[in-house]
Structure 1
Amino acid sequence: MLRSFGAVLDRWGERALLAATCGALVAGGVAWLAGARGVADACWAAGTLVAIVPAVAWVVASLRKGRAGVDLIAVLALGGTLAVGEYLAGALIGVMLASGRALDAAAERRASRDLRALLERAPRTARRRNGEEVTVVPLAEVRAGDVVVVGPGEVVPVDGRVTAGPAVLDESALTGESALVERGRGDQVRSGVVNAGGAFDLAATATAEASTYAQIVRLAEQAGARRAPVVRLAERYAAWFLPLSLAVAGAAWALSGSAVRAVAVLVVATPCPLLLAAPVAIVSGLSRAARQGVVVRDGGALERLGRARTLLMDKTGTLTSGRPRVLQVAAAPGWTPAQVLRLAASVDQVSAHVLAEAIVAEARARDLPLTVPREVTEEPGRGVTGIVGDRKVRLGKLVAPPESVPGWAGAAENRAVLDGAAVAWLTVDDVLCGAVLLRDPLRHDAPRTLRRLRSAGIDRLLMLTGDRAEPAREVAAVVGLDGVRAEQSPADKVEAVREETARAVTVMVGDGINDAPALAAADVGVAMGARGSTASSEAADVVLTTDRVDRLADAMEIAVRTRRIAVQSAAGGMAMSLAAMVAALLGWLPPAAGALLQEAIDVVVILNALRAVLPRGGARPALEPATEELIRRFAAEHDDLADVLDAVRDAASLLSTEHGARALKAVRDVDRLLTERLLPHEHAEDRELYPALAEALGGREATATMSRAHTEIDRLAWRIATHLRLADAAGELRPDQLDDLRACLYGLHTVLRLHFVQEEENYFSLAP
């Protein structure tokens, strides 16, 4: 009965308890000022009684769990004040107790972690084929061997094998990878993935209950249920503060023979620094985190985040952007990258393929004029064909036999393999003319974020990903991770999380449905909620509401600082309470005066705890609005200059095979692009952006290395221009120029790529 009563109060009664105790204290104060001392005592006694009833229920509930928490001291103090007639002291303690409970409940009000999103996303019915007849049946009626028709955009309801296809699937919900996957006849398909192509037939190999998606739901439920209960900061301190307080109170009674003196000790021993300091600091930290776009579900999660030492991260959508972007545009002889991209984007304007959006966006970013295609047809998993202008354009898979692939196309294919990129091949009037390479890029703010996480106390950083080992290792090497586990299933991720949580407090970061079980199993689950699945957000303790991974570092720094302030406040408050307990032991503090002194201690403790809501300098440089605008401007120019980097690389590659008129023209085009577009951009950065950044970053030294890179870019551009003047004088590129010119071009391409990445990571990632 007491347990159920306590549960009801925990759910509904915190505000009512706070209102009742505050009301009794204020009413008693008004009566006392009016001279009605009897009425004042009655009000204060009523406030004490109102507080002691739920406090007893909380103590009994804690004792049944094998814990004797801070509430026990409060109950003894409340009962003692009633016994010796110190009603004002009891009313003050009642308000403190109710305030602490209300604050803690406010911090934990959103603590329920159900799997509604997983269950809502799961199909309820399936279209079962029987000969030529297709009927809609409840999913529970589908048995192994049944043929199910999966329509465009539908979630695959059961595990099975493709019998009529091919099937073009978005498997990101399970693997986290954004690229579409094609499954042919006989290939296995798992439930929970989305049909991104045309309708296909699937022969079920399992019932819905035994299929992959249902297993993920059960795995997430089990992982959340098996997570160890949280031991809060206040409970850890109460383990030694409680027996110490009782010992001092007993000594006071024994030495003086006065129960009043023992009550006075208990009054000043009332653990208000624990009841108030930690919750105030935690709520302040939660508020501060919310301002940074980080929703922390409860105070316990913030405390655990502040103690975390291991961090596990998914790759796609967490360390990478989660959406493909154009890496390079390769062009056949006689074509330019701009022509290839324009035609590819024109025909892709009407395609629903995941790569089409990236290709069209890149063309628009380069201000290429697009043409609306006619007579468009799209074969899922193969490509899209249409008429652009008066030419037949096809974009998709390479259909030519390997022996007929020209050299330039082989080079593009090799680079795609090395960079882990997807390739969309362009044919015009059935002639192969170009290729667009696409890759899910690393987030600009990822390296800086991981450095900040290490500074905040994380000493072990690992990647858990469903992707292949090669691209996972490349990303891990760039950002400096301590280890990689690739090709991980949801169950594998849960097992890895459990291994790490056995060693240290562990954080898991992810964004997909496949990450939900691991998020539930971790000490702290963090979901990329801006574009991630709702299921991962429901299973997580922390949700990043903006699509920026650096908010994770913000959350970690806030959690560490909040926990430090909570510990300072609680420890400082307890130290002052111990001093007051000694005074009460010696008879220098009667109960009412002790209660007032305890109130003064509480005020000091609360004011210190409220520091957690204030921003901390140095976490991320504060930028002026004008500086942020400059960053966005130059970041956009970086995107526009991608074709310049392609031209430099292509010219260098061309010089490796020939040095005639075509090679000379390619070098002239590079010189023109450098003079008209790239160098003005670099000079403007030195003149406008770097001085503005220097103020926020602590002086010109912070941008000195980047300025030195500009000098090297200028030097290489001047050297290329000098080679052109020598070629003009000779009428051609001389053989003795080729090695140095090729080295200048390759060197310039390398310096530019490194310089762009450094600026994007160190400077452009500062702006929201």
Structure 2
Amino acid sequence: MNPLADRRALLAAPLLGLLGGGLLWLAGREAGPAFAMGALPVLAVLLAEMARSLRGGEFGLDLIAALAMGFGLVMGESLAANVVALMYAGGQFLDDHARRRASAEMTALLARQPRSALREGPAGWEETPITALRPGDRLLIPKGGVLPVDGVLESEIALLDTAALTGEPLPLRAERGQALLSGMGNAGEAFVLAASTDAEASTYAGILRLVRAAQESRAPMARLADRWSLAFLALTLVLAGGAWAASGEATRALAVLVVATPCPLILAVPVALMAGLSRAAALGMLVKSAAALEAMARVRAVVLDKTGTLTRGQAELVGVAGDARALRDAAALDQASAHPIARALVAAARARGLSLPMPEAVRETPGEGLEGMVEGRRVVVGGPRFVLARAEGPVPEADLHADLRSLVAVEGRIVAALLFADPLRAEAPGLVARLRAAGVGRVVLASGDGAAATARVAAEVGADAQHARLDPAGKVAVVAAERAHGPVMMLGDGLNDAPALAAADVGVAVGARGAAAAEAADAVLLGEGIGRLAPVLAAARRARAIAVQSVAAGIGLSTLGMIAAALGHLTPVQGALLQEAIDVAVILNALRALKS
């Protein structure tokens, strides 16, 4: 059965006990057995859970609830026992609901990973499970396919999408004999790959193992309630034992235990954190558990991925150096190409209102460039090496930063340079300042891109430090190093970020574009609005502060009630009703976390 359904069934027992006992009391009959029947299932489950906890070396406040229910039943105070059972079962239901919130929204890890491949066999290319692939197998990687294993390129050239592994938004051109990694995507025409590993030994599988290792090695976070439990437990037992010893009345000890039943701890913390989860969802972040939200409230350092996180992850035309009219000629020719840069150029030209004629006699060298006729003139567009081999003239210079330059030649003369970059998201420049205002002391940029591009973005956003050319293990190392400054949050969007997301105290996936990132992370920032990160952090801090406030107030009032019970001013049933009133007060206070 679903664990949450188990908690619902457990909560139903004391509710039915109260209902049945109330009806019996109204009918003038003995209500005690009904109240007892409502408390017994909760006590049995609680004792079983305590036994499991003790075997695991854990010990906490559940003992008070067990003693209150057990003594209440033994001493004939079954109504008090039922009330304690109701509040305990309710708290457990709320806590489970908070921890399981949104986990059903997460997909299986690495849905992107291929399950089969086209392997060369006696009858041609045969569909084969990737578990059956062996080194030396010849594989056909179709257009849009993902490399299932590491291998060596046997075709002349291949155009590869490496964003999932490195975060780099621009395609990689590979040539015959070049080693390729599993997880890369085929952004060009189909090609032949000679496998050099099996699936288990591939780079892609290695990243998966790194994710699992990071998740297993991350230290468990102590819950807020756990840090209050032992001191309150000791105080309760001292007061209960002292009241019994001093008065000789066991009912005083029971009254103390009933008042002390730690419902402010059991209820206030999950209610405040659940309210915080709802507030985070309203702000656009899906947080997987109350524990993750509590950890988020303590974050002091943030590690940011660059490509696809701070930037848009797509190349855009940022300028034209030289003859501006060359943009129309180049875009007209690029209509014949499916290359991402060609698509970006065509989109930029159309956004400027340019009318693009259809090219003729187009020849494309994949990953290099195109040449053809535009309105009777010979036009060449592509990388510098490609164009310089076919045209003459000086290369136009520009002051604008560019991650990539394409040259344009018309009738054998170089006339312009097209400048492309992966621009920052609109919210990125002010993100670091907003994070600092939300209580973050240090912000670090960690990227798989080159040093120059990483340093430029770090300067633009105001990061405290930057690390470039990082593989997934390198990002994990950065997260580990930043723990010296306090709990660490990692923000990323791709497979290459998944191990670091898992290793961080709080991992946040941007946009949930990749199943690996979403699965490894503790939270998912829905959509692309990274500007919402700071408000969510502020909401997490507020929710935790309200939880602490509610617990402190609840325990303070409970302590006063315990003293009154120890002095004989409260009966067990009166103590249970007082505890109910305290519970309502702390829950109402905890719900303030729903507000901004």
Answer whether TM exceeds 0.5 for this pair. yes
Tell me the SS of whatever aligns to 2:211. Answer: helix
Matches within 5 A, 1:659-738: none
Letter in 1 for 2:546: I
Cα distance between partner residues in 2 of 1:160 and 1:429:
41
Residues 73 and 270 of structure 1 are in contact (CA less than 8 Å); yes or no, is this contact kept in structure 2? Answer: yes
Q: Is 1:370 matched up with 2:352?
A: no
Which is worse superposed, 53-62 or 339-348? Answer: 339-348
Task: Return the match for 1:552 from 533, 545, 557.
Answer: 533
Hey, what's the Cα distance between the residues in 2 that align with 1:350 and 1:20?
A: 70
Partner of 2:271: 280
**Alignment partner, residue 466 of structure 2:** 484
Matched with 1:658 is: none
CA RMSD after TM alignment: 2.4
Match of residue 259 from structure 2: 268
1:113 to partner: Cα distance: 10
SS at the partner of 2:310? Answer: coil
1:146 Cα deviation from its structure 2 partner:
3.3
1:573 aligned partner: 554
Tell me how far apart the structure 2 counterparts of residues 371 and 110 of structure 1 sit (CA, whole Å): 54
Which residue does the alignment assign to 1:166?
A: 157
Shift of 1:329: 1.6
Residue 320 of structure 2 corresponds to: 329
Partner residue of 2:544? 563
2:510 alignment partner AA: M
Give the structure 1 partner of residue 414 of structure 2: 432
Q: Quote the residue 1:462 is aligned against.
A: 444
Other structure's SS at 2:436 match: helix
Q: Secondary structure at the match of 1:423?
A: strand
| Partner of residue 285, structure 2 | 294
Q: Retained in 2: the 8 A contact 1:118–1:513? A: no
Q: After superposition, where does 1:289-688 map in structure 2 within 5 Å? A: 289-332=280-323, 337=324, 339-398=325-384, 399-401=386-388, 406-407=393-394, 409-412=395-398, 415=399, 419-501=401-483, 504-530=486-512, 532-615=513-596
Give the structure 2 partner of residue 128 of structure 1.
119
CA distance in 1, matches of 2:557, 2:353: 68
Distance in 1 between residues matched to 2:2 and 2:289, nearest whole Å: 18
Give the deviation of 1:272 after TM superposition.
0.5
Deviation track 1:13-48 (CA, whole Å, cap 9, x = no partner) reads 11111223223223333443x24351x322222211
Residue 14 of structure 2 corresponds to residue 21 of structure 1: yes
Residue correspondences, number: 595
SS at match of 1:552: helix
Indicate how the Cα distance of structure 1 residues 513 and 117 shifts in structure 2: closer, same or farther if over 3 A, else same.
Answer: farther
* One-letter amino acid matched to 1:606: I
Q: 1:123 to 1:584 in 2, by over 3 A?
A: same
Sort the Cα spacing of 1:354 and 1:400 in 2 relative to 1 into closer, same or farther, 3 A: closer
Separation in structure 2 between the aligned mates of residue 346 and residue 76 of structure 1, nearest angstrom: 81
Rounded Cα–Cα distance in structure 1 between residues aligned with 2:350 and 2:24: 75
Instruction: Return the index of the structure with the highest Cα Rg.
Output: 1
Q: Is the 8 A contact 1:113 1:540 kept in 2?
A: no
- 3-state SS in 2 of match to 1:75: helix
Q: Please tell me whether the aligned partners of residues 387 and 409 of structure 2 are also in contact (alpha carbons under 8 angstroms).
A: no
Shift of 1:331: 2.8
Aligned counterpart, 1:246? 237
Distance (whole Å) between structure 2 residues aligned to residue 576 and residue 286 of structure 1: 27
Relative to the length of structure 1, the TM-score reads 0.74
C-alpha distance in structure 2 between counterparts of 1:99 and 1:405, whole Å: 79
Residue 194 to residue 30, structure 1, CA distance change in 2 (3 Å): same
| Rounded Cα–Cα distance in structure 1 between residues aligned with 2:200 and 2:587 | 52
Distance 1:263 1:382, change over 3 A: same
Which residue type is aligned with residue 270 of structure 2?
Answer: P
Gaps of 5+ in 2: none
Distance 2:258 2:422 in 1: 62
Counterpart-to-counterpart distance in 1, 2:206 and 2:521:
18
Looking at structure 2, the residues matched to 181 and 308 of structure 1 have their Cα atoms a distance apart, in angstroms, of 37
Secondary structure of the corresponding residue to residue 291 of structure 1: helix
Looking at structure 1, the residues matched to 102 and 49 of structure 2 have their Cα atoms a distance apart, in angstroms, of 19
Give the AA of the match of 1:228. Answer: A
CA 1:53 to 1:371, structure 2 compared with 1: closer, same or farther past 3 Å?
A: farther
3-state DSSP of counterpart to 1:143: coil
Specify whether residues 405 and 70 from structure 1 end up closer, same or farther in structure 2 by C-alpha distance, changes over 3 A only: farther
What residue in structure 1 maps to residue 189 of structure 2?
198
* Offset of residue 212 of structure 1: 0.4
Question: Which region of structure 1 is more displaced relative to structure 2, 348-357 or 105-114?
Answer: 105-114
Rounded Cα–Cα distance in structure 1 between residues aligned with 2:19 and 2:273: 27
Give the whole-Å Cα distance in 1 for the aligned partners of 2:32 and 2:362.
86
**Separation in 2, partners of 1:447, 1:41:** 66
Q: CA–CA distance in 1 between the matches of 2:105 and 2:217? A: 14
**Is contact 2:147-2:185 (8 Å) kept?**
yes
Deviation string 1:493-519 (CA, Å, 9 cap, x unpaired) is: 223323334663211111001111111
Counterpart AA for 2:446: L
Q: C-alpha distance in 2, partners of 1:207/1:453?
A: 44
- Report the alpha carbon displacement of residue 370 of structure 1 after superposing the two structures with TM: 3.2
Q: Which residue identity is paired with 2:574?
A: A
Give yes or no for contact 2:110–2:514 (8 Å, CA) kept in 1.
no
Instruction: Describe the shift of the 1:278–1:433 C-alpha distance in structure 2 as closer, same or farther (beyond 3 A).
Output: same
Contact 1:165–1:199 (Cα < 8 Å) also in 2: no
Residue by residue over 1:419-469, the C-alpha shift from the partner in whole angstroms, topping out at 9 and shown as x without a partner, is 242122223344433232111112221232221211222112112211111
Task: Give the whole-Å Cα distance in 1 for the aligned partners of 2:2 and 2:36.
Answer: 21
C-alpha separation between the residues in 2 aligned to 1:300 and 1:181? 41
Give SS of 2:297's match: helix
Give a deviation string over 1:242-268, Cα, whole Å, max 9, x none: 121111111111111111000100011
How many Å separate the matches in 2 of 1:269 and 1:296? 32
Q: Residues 89-144 of structure 1, C-alpha deviation per residue, up to 9 Å, x if partnerless?
A: 22221111111111111112258699965443222333334799544433334333
Q: What SS does the corresponding residue of 2:303 show, helix, strand or coil?
A: strand
Q: Pick one of 43, 47, 62 that aligns with 2:38.
A: 47
8 Å CA contact 2:98–2:289 kept in 1: the answer is yes
SS of the equivalent of 2:147 reads coil
Letter in 2 for 1:370: L
Please tell me whether the aligned partners of residues 145 and 205 of structure 1 are also in contact (alpha carbons under 8 angstroms). yes
Give the deviation of 1:388 after TM superposition: 4.0
2:28 aligned with 1:36: yes
SS of equivalent to 2:491: strand
Mark the CA change 1:53 to 1:131 in structure 2 (over 3 Å): closer, same or farther. Answer: closer
In structure 2, the CA distance between the partners of 1:575 and 1:401, relative to structure 1 (3 Å rule), is same
Which of 125, 140, 153 aligns to 1:149? It is 140
Query: What's the TM-score, normalizing by structure 2?
Result: 0.94
| Counterpart check, 1:63 vs 2:54 | yes
Are the equivalent residues in 2 in contact too, given 1:114–1:539 (CA < 8 A)? no
Distance 1:375 1:209 in 2: 46
Question: 1:143, 1:206 within 8 Å by CA — same for their partners in 2?
Answer: yes
